[in-house]
C-alpha cells in the first residue's frame, strides 16, 4: 500500500486507539504531516528505534511498540522455548508515554507466554542492563529516547548479557520485526490477565539494592573518600530524568556527604521544562547548576541525561567560573585517575586494557600507555565495548579497566554492559576528591595532562536532515565522499583513509583490510595525527562529523579545528 492507503486503513480501523484516531482526523487536511507519518515504517535498526510520538507507522505509538515487541517475541522463540521462558526485563524513563509503552510491550510478550519483569517506576538505562543479568533474562527492553527533545520516545533491545545486540543478532531481530506488517492486529492480553498468569511481574527496590551493592565495587580508594567526602562540594542535576533516586543513593553510599541537587530539575518532567535540550553535552543544560554552584562555591557540577546512561561535568577554572568539559576530556581525567590510583595501591592487574570508540580522542590512549596499559579501538556503539568485555572474560587475555565513547558514555565495572552514568557519577566524585586533596582542581589536572602529552581538542558537528528527503541527502553525501575521498583538511594532507562499511584502509594508495564489523563510517587521518570522521546516526535523521586536532600549542589546536570545520561545511554546501 502507498502511504495514503495505509493512512485510510488506520483511520477506518475499529482497533485504533481513540486518541490516535482523533490525531489523524485533526491532520486530515495536512498531507505533508500525514505523508511523513505513513510514508515508511519507523526504522528498527541496530540500536532499536526512536521517533516522534504520534499516530502513524513512522511514529512511536502503542502499535509500533507492539510491532517491535512481537518481533522480539518471535526472535526469542526461534532460540528455543527454554530461552524464551527466561523472560524479558523492561524499564522506562520519564518521557511522555514511557510507562504506557512499557506495559504494551509486556502485554505483547504475555500473548506469547513470555514473562516480563517490569519496573514499578522509572529507572535508569544502566539499571535495566543490570536487571537483565540479575534475572538471567533472555532480553531487555528500555523505553527511552535518551536526550532527544520532548516529542520523542524510543525502544532499545538488550541481549541476555545485558548489552545491546551486536550486528548479527540485531539484523536477525530486525528481520523478525519487519515481518510483522499488520500493526493493528497484533495479539495482546490485558494487564490484569498478564499479572494473573504471572506473566507480568512488577519489580523495583530489590533490584535497586543489589545494583547499589555492586556499585560499591566502583570505588577504588575508600580511605581517600573518607578523608574528603565531606569537603568536596558537588552540584548534581538529573535534568528531569531518572538519575536522582539511584544517583543520590550511590553518592551517599560511597561517602560523599556534601551534595546539592538542582531542585528545579530534580523531579521527572517529560517536557524538560527548564532546558532547551536535556543533554549534558550542551553547556546550556548546566545554566541552573552553574548559578547554584556560584552561590555554594561548588568544586564540580555533574549532570546526567534523562535515562542516566550519559554524564556531563563542569569544573571550576583558575578564574573562578565554571567550564563544561567534553566527553573526551572527562574520559582523559578518569583514565589518568583510575590507572594512577590502582598503580599507587598496587592493584593494577596484569593485562589491563581500556576500550574506546574509533571517533573518540587519542589522549586517553596516550595516558594509558604511560601506565603500561593497552588501549583498543572499537566501532561506535557501546555494544562493541560489551562484546570485547565478554571476549576478555572468556579468554582471560585482558582485564577491562575502563570503556568510553566521546558522547559522554563511560563504564568502569562490567556488572553493567552499557554506558553507566551512575558508575561515572561515583568515579568522577572520587577523582575530584583526589585532586582536591592534592590542592589541585580538575581543571588544573586536565591542563597538566595537556602539558605532559600534548594538546588534544575534539569537536562534533551534528547536522539534522528531517524527513525522507533528509535521509536521502545523508546517504547521498556519504556516497559522494566515498566516490571522491578528500585529499586534505585545513591544508593538512590526508595520509590514511578508512571506510568501515567497505572494511578498507588506504595508506599511500595501498589498501589493507579493517578487522572490525561493518559500519557506515568514514575516517581520515592527517599527516599531523589529527583526524576527521563522518557517521550517520542509526536512530535519528542526523549525520555527525567528528574532528580531532593535536598540537603542542593549545592556540594552534583551536585554529586547526576552525579550518577543519570550514572544509567540512564546504563539502556539505557543495554537495
User: Among all residues, which ones are annotated catalytic?
Assistant: 146
- 545 neighbors 532 (Cβ within 8 angstroms): yes
For residue 439, the tally of other CB atoms under 10 A from its CB is 7
- As a whole number of Å, the CA-based R_g of the chain is 24
Site of grid cell 505533508: 32
Asked if 494 contacts 524 with a C-beta cutoff of 8 angstroms, the reply is yes
Q: DSSP strand E in 69-151: where?
A: 88-92, 116-119, 139-143
One DSSP character per residue, 378-426 reads E-SSHHHHHHHHHHHHHH-S-EEEEEEETTTEEESSTTSSS--HHHHHH
Sorted by sequence, the CB contacts under 8 Å of residue 182 that are 6+ apart come out as none
Query: Phi and psi dihedrals of 335, rounded to 5?
Result: -60, -45
Q: Are 309 and 97 in contact (CB under 8 A)?
A: no
Cα-flanking dihedrals φ and ψ of residue 230, to 5°? Answer: -85, -25
Closest CA relative to residue 422, chosen from 434, 414, 410, 430? 410
Reduce the secondary structure of 74-95 to three states and give it as a string: HHHHHCCHHHHCCCEEEEECCC
With 0-12 / 13-18 / 19 or more C-beta atoms within 10 angstroms meaning exposed / middle / buried, residue 494 is middle
Decide if 117 contacts 88 (C-beta within 8 A). yes
Tell me, what DSSP letter sits at residue 53?
B
- Per DSSP, the three-state class of 494 is strand
| DSSP code for 511 | E
Helix, strand or coil for residue 373? Answer: coil
Helix axes 125-134, 205-215, angle to 10 degrees: 100
**Element housing 212 (H / E):** helix 205-215
Amino acid at each position: 500500500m502507498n502511504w495514503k492507503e495505509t493512512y485510510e486503513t488506520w483511520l477506518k480501523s475499529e482497533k485504533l486507539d481513540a486518541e490516535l484516531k482523533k490525531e489523524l482526523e485533526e491532520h486530515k487536511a495536512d498531507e505533508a504531516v500525514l505523508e511523513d507519518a505513513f510514508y515508511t515504517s519507523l526504522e528498527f535498526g541496530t540500536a532499536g528505534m526512536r521517533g516522534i510520538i504520534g499516530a502513524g507507522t513512522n511514529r512511536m505509538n502503542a502499535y509500533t511498540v507492539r510491532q517491535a515487541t512481537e518481533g522480539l517475541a518471535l526472535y526469542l522463540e526461534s532460540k528455543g522455548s527454554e530461552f524464551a521462558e527466561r523472560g524479558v526485563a523492561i524499564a522506562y524513563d520519564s518521557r511522555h508515554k514511557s510507562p504506557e509503552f512499557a506495559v504494551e510491550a509486556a502485554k505483547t510478550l504475555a500473548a506469547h507466554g513470555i514473562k516480563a519483569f517490569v519496573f514499578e517506576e522509572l529507572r535508569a538505562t544502566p539499571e535495566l542492563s543490570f536487571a537483565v543479568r540479575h534475572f538471567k533474562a533472555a532480553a531487555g527492553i528500555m523505553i527511552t529516547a535518551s536526550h532527544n527533545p520532548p516529542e520523542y520516545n524510543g525502544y532499545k533491545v538488550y541481549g541476555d548479557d545485558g548489552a545491546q545486540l551486536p550486528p548479527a543478532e540485531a539484523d536477525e531481530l530486525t528481520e523478525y520485526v519487519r515481518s510483522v506488517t499488520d500493526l493493528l492486529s497484533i495479539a495482546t492480553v490485558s494487564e490484569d490477565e498478564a499479572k494473573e498468569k504471572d506473566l507480568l511481574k512488577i519489580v523495583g527496590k530489590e533490584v535497586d539494592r543489589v545494583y547499589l551493592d555492586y556499585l560499591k565495587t566502583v570505588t577504588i580508594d575508600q580511605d581517600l573518600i573518607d578523608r574528603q567526602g565531606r569537603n568536596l562540594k558537588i552540584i548534581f542535576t538529573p535534568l528531569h530524568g531518572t538519575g536522582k533516586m539511584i544517583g543520590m543513593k550511590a553518592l551517599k553510599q560511597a561517602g560523599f556527604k556534601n551534595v546539592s541537587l538542582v531542585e528545579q530539575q530534580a523531579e521527572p518532567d517529560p517536557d524538560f521544562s527548564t532546558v532547551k535540550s536535556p543533554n549534558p553535552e550542551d553547556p546550556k543544560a548546566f545554566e541552573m547548576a552553574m548559578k547554584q554552584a556560584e552561590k555554594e562555591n561548588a568544586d564540580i557540577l555533574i549532570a546526567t541525561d534523562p535515562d542516566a546512561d550519559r554524564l556531563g561535568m563542569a569544573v571550576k577554572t583558575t578564574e573562578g567560573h565554571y567550564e563544561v568539559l567534553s566527553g573526551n576530556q572527562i574520559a582523559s581525567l578518569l583514565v589518568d585517575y583510575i590507572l594512577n590510583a590502582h598503580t599507587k595501591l598496587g592493584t593494577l592487574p596484569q593485562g589491563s586494557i581500556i576500550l574506546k570508540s574509533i571517533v573518540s580522542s587519542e589522549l586517553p590512549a596516550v595516558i594509558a600507555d604511560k601506565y603500561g596499559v593497552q588501549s583498543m579501538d572499537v566501532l561506535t556503539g557501546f555494544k562493541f565495548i560489551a562484546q570485547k568485555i565478554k571476549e576478555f572474560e572468556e579468554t582471560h587475555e585482558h582485564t577491562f579497566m575502563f570503556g568510553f565513547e566521546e558522547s559522554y558514555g563511560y563504564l568502569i565495572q562490567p556488572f553493567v554492559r552499557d554506558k553507566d552514568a551512575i558508575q561515572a557519577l561515583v568515579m568522577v566524585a572520587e577523582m575530584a576528591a583526589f585532586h582536591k586533596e592534592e590542592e589541585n582542581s580538575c581543571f588544573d589536572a586536565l591542563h597538566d595532562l595537556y602539558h605532559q602529552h600534548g594538546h588534544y581538542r575534539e569537536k562534533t558537528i551534528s547536522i539534522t536532515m528531517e524527513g525522507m528527503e533528509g535521509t536521502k541527502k545523508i546517504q547521498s553525501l556519504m556516497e559522494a565522499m566515498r566516490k571522491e575521498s578528500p585529499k586534505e583538511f585545513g591544508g593538512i594532507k590526508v595520509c590514511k583513509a578508512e571506510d568501515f562499511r567497505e572494511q578498507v584502509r588506504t595508506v599511500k594508495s595501498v589498501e589493507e583490510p579493517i578487522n572490525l564489523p561493518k559500519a557506515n563510517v568514514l575516517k581520515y587521518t592527517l599527516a599531523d595525527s589529527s583526524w576527521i570522521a563522518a557517521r550517520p546516526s542509526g536512530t535519528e535523521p542526523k549525520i555527525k562529523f567528528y574532528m580531532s586536532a593535536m598540537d603542542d600549542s593549545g592556540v594552534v589546536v583551536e585554529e586547526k579545528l576552525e579550518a577543519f570545520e570550514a572544509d567540512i561545511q564546504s563539502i556539505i554546501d557543495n554537495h
